[in-house]
Amino acid sequence: MKRIEKLLEARVERTPDEPFLTVPDETFTFREVRNQSKRYANALAELGVDAGDRVALFLPNRPEFVFLLFANAYRNSVTAPSNPEYQPSELRHSLELSGPRVLVTTPDLLEVAVDAADGTAVERILTTEPVDGHESLPALAADQSTDVEPHDGNAETVGLHMYTSGTTGPPKAVECRHRNWTISAIDFQKRLEITIDDTLFTALPLFHANAQIYSTLAAVAGGAEVVIYERFSSTNWWDWCRDHDVTVFNAMGSMLKMLDNLSETEADSDNPVEIVMSAGTPPELIEPFEERFGVRMVEGYSLTEAPLAMLNPVDESKRRIGCVGLPPAEKRVRIVDEDGNPVPTGEKGEIVQRDPALMAGYHGQPDKTDEAMVDGWFYTGDYGKLDEDGFLYFLDRKKDIVRRAGENISSFEVESVIKAMDAVDEVAVIPSPDEFYTEVVKALVRVKDGEELSPAEIVDHCRGELASFKLPRYVEFVDEFPYTPTGKIQKQKLRDREQEAEPEHWDREP
């Protein structure tokens, strides 16, 4: 089992001067990424970053993110990336969870970073470009050596803190060992048969496990090039694929819907792409999409806490459309009832997993870790079923989240912000179906007697506290909520109604 930097070192030994990392207008070879990462590691050491220290990244998709992922591995410190769309209160929570003393951001995001870091353990805020009052990390790294001090970390060492959506409380920091990432990347590379002849492409955010593991590290494992763009654009996507001779790209179902929504042309299938790895794609879209664009779709399923992916076979004769695939040899999957007992084949239950790539735990929250990990099994909070051949079918979520275009949004987090408004008596946040994003945020609000409140006021209040993708798309005022015997709002009844009835609500994007 390898560490993250050892995976890169092994690749540099074999193909040092092959292209590895491409961003718009710039390409770095494996050797160049390795050397730059080592300079960054020595710059971090000069700043006092020691083994086990967390380094917070508040960055969009750009080369410095990749350099720092490997730099922290060389330093045996911990990469702790946050969503660059976060507002100060959201970023502050991440910083308080992990306690980094160093934070790296861009000039454009500096104001939010400074606000968020106030009162936390952060001592130094570095930027990707020179800014008055803040040192530039690339400038600090420029004159550093490419020789790094050895460390005593191994594959069991925690290498990342990944922030996951909270379901009954604020987001948690998932402690990810080096082996979690490398095992998962190597397995993905082998099962998709990624080689030096491939070019991978992603516009998914690097602060997520997906882009780190299944694009960046999978490229290292196979000797492939990875092209990383900052944002997805349906109108430019296929031209970008042609420009970079892309053979494999990762996407969410919402992205594929947007591509399919483009006007058909004779050139649709005139592209170099062979494999599209996706999650959350409607089964009825898969075969028409393949035929139109001349690609093979591979559906998968994984979680930050358990990144060793379930994958549908690439071979068309072996796959099963509508399922999320088979586990690798090292993974065990069960479907269990509310008491943790296995259910019969074909019946619905919670998906639980056991494999060597499971998280170390939730940082500083042993109680939450014990809830999720029982006797070595990770309880996913997702409902599914297994067929007689071991194929997994994802059915629903047990977790109280909204899944918008691959982003898990905590209902609790949005509810907490809205509840802070003086005029609000009670609120319930649920997912509302959406053609492109799969789900969007809907807030059902009961206003206090004698108070007045408009939907626009609710969204404007959220705008200063939540990242843009978490803002309610729909607002509905209610007189009463359905309750359980213990006085809790029956969210499932609200979700069922949203799926089955034609809702009456205010839409901020009419």
pLDDT in tens, 426-441: 899 999 988 888 899 9
> What pLDDT is recorded for position 435?
82
CA–CA distance, 63 with 54 (Å, rounded to integer): 19
Retrieve residue 218's tokens.
């999978």
* Residues 378 and 441 placed together within one structural domain of the fold: no
CA–CA distance, 469 with 416 (Å, rounded to integer): 16
Retrieve residue 309's tokens.
């992916």
Q: Residues 6 or more apart from 385 whose CB is under 8 A from it?
A: 335, 346, 347, 348, 349, 392, 393, 395
> What pLDDT is recorded for position 295?
97
Please answer whether residues 84 and 469 qualify as being in contact, where contact means their C-beta atoms are separated by less than 8 angstroms: no
Closest C-alpha among 73, 226, 97 to residue 164 = 97
> What pLDDT is recorded for position 484?
65
Please answer whether residues 180 and 307 qualify as being in contact, where contact means their C-beta atoms are separated by less than 8 angstroms: yes
Q: What share of the chain is helix, strand, coil (3-state, %, to 5)?
A: 30, 30, 40
| 406: confidence class by pLDDT, cuts 50, 70, 90 | confident
Please answer whether residues 323 and 299 qualify as being in contact, where contact means their C-beta atoms are separated by less than 8 angstroms: yes
Retrieve residue 147's tokens.
């020789």
Please answer whether residues 505 and 474 qualify as being in contact, where contact means their C-beta atoms are separated by less than 8 angstroms: yes
CA–CA distance, 10 with 220 (Å, rounded to integer): 9
* Residues 43 and 167 placed together within one structural domain of the fold: yes
Q: Is residue 432, in this structure, part of any structural domain at all? A: yes
Averaged pLDDT for residues 344-372? 95
Please answer whether residues 423 and 453 qualify as being in contact, where contact means their C-beta atoms are separated by less than 8 angstroms: yes
Q: Is residue 122, in this structure, part of any structural domain at all? A: yes
Strands annotated E in 240-399: 248-252, 275-279, 296-303, 306-311, 332-336, 349-354, 361-362, 373-374, 377-386, 392-397
Q: Is residue 353, in this structure, part of any structural domain at all? A: yes
Q: Is residue 369, in this structure, part of any structural domain at all? A: yes
260 has a pLDDT exceeding 90: yes
CATH of the domain at 357: 2.30.38.10
Domain count, the chain: 3
How many percent of the chain have pLDDT more than 70?
98
* Residues 382 and 424 placed together within one structural domain of the fold: no
Judged by average pLDDT, the poorest of 78-82, 317-321, 400-404, 470-474 is: 400-404
Residue type, 122: V
Looking at 176, 200, 217, which one is the last position of a domain? Answer: 176
Closest C-alpha among 274, 203, 262, 202 to residue 234 = 262
> What pLDDT is recorded for position 486?
57
211-248 confidence digits (pLDDT tens) = 999 999 999 999 999 999 999 999 999 999 999 999 99
Place of tokens 């005022």: 477
| 201: confidence class by pLDDT, cuts 50, 70, 90 | very high
Judged by average pLDDT, the poorest of 257-266, 267-276, 390-399 is: 390-399
* Residues 344 and 443 placed together within one structural domain of the fold: no
CATH of the domain at 166: 3.40.50.980
* Residues 30 and 156 placed together within one structural domain of the fold: yes
* Residues 47 and 157 placed together within one structural domain of the fold: yes
* Residues 358 and 420 placed together within one structural domain of the fold: no
| 411: confidence class by pLDDT, cuts 50, 70, 90 | confident
CA distances (Å), origin 146, targets 12, 42, 138, 242, 483: 14, 8, 14, 35, 62
Averaged pLDDT for residues 327-346? 94
Burial (0-12, 13-18, 19+ Cβ within 10 Å), 358: buried
* Residues 42 and 162 placed together within one structural domain of the fold: yes
Residue type, 504: E
> What pLDDT is recorded for position 167?
58
Please answer whether residues 394 and 324 qualify as being in contact, where contact means their C-beta atoms are separated by less than 8 angstroms: yes
Domain that residue 441 falls in:
402-507
| 1: confidence class by pLDDT, cuts 50, 70, 90 | low
111-148 confidence digits (pLDDT tens) = 999 999 999 999 999 999 999 889 999 999 999 999 99
351 has a pLDDT exceeding 80: yes
Closest C-alpha among 297, 277, 230 to residue 62 = 230
Within 13 A of 62's CA, how many CA atoms are on the CB side? 13
How many percent of the chain have pLDDT more than 90?
82
257 has a pLDDT exceeding 80: yes
CA–CA distance, 398 with 381 (Å, rounded to integer): 5
Give the DSSP letter of residue 216.
I
Judged by average pLDDT, the poorest of 129-133, 191-195, 366-370, 495-499 is: 495-499
493 has a pLDDT exceeding 70: yes
Residue type, 65: F
Looking at 176, 202, 233, which one is the last position of a domain? Answer: 176
Retrieve residue 379's tokens.
């309880």
* Residues 422 and 497 placed together within one structural domain of the fold: yes
The secondary structure element, H or E, covering residue 20 is: strand 19-23
Strand 102-105 vs strand 124-127: parallel, antiparallel, or unpaired?
parallel
Q: Is residue 208, in this structure, part of any structural domain at all? A: no
Looking at 399, 426, 457, which one is the last position of a domain? Answer: 399
55-94 confidence digits (pLDDT tens) = 999 999 999 999 999 999 999 999 999 999 999 999 999 9
Please answer whether residues 484 and 443 qualify as being in contact, where contact means their C-beta atoms are separated by less than 8 angstroms: no
* Residues 335 and 430 placed together within one structural domain of the fold: no
> What pLDDT is recorded for position 267?
93
488 has a pLDDT exceeding 80: no
> What pLDDT is recorded for position 253?
81
CATH of the domain at 442: 3.30.300.30
354 has a pLDDT exceeding 70: yes
Q: Is residue 186, in this structure, part of any structural domain at all? A: no
* Residues 347 and 456 placed together within one structural domain of the fold: no
Closest C-alpha among 336, 281, 343, 333 to residue 309 = 333
* Residues 358 and 406 placed together within one structural domain of the fold: no
23-54 confidence digits (pLDDT tens) = 999 999 999 999 999 999 999 999 999 999 99
281-314 confidence digits (pLDDT tens) = 888 999 999 999 999 999 999 999 999 999 999 9
Closest C-alpha among 111, 34, 107, 110 to residue 73 = 34
CA–CA distance, 374 with 334 (Å, rounded to integer): 13
Averaged pLDDT for residues 160-185? 88
Residue type, 50: D
> What pLDDT is recorded for position 168?
57
Q: First-to-last CA distance in the chain? A: 52
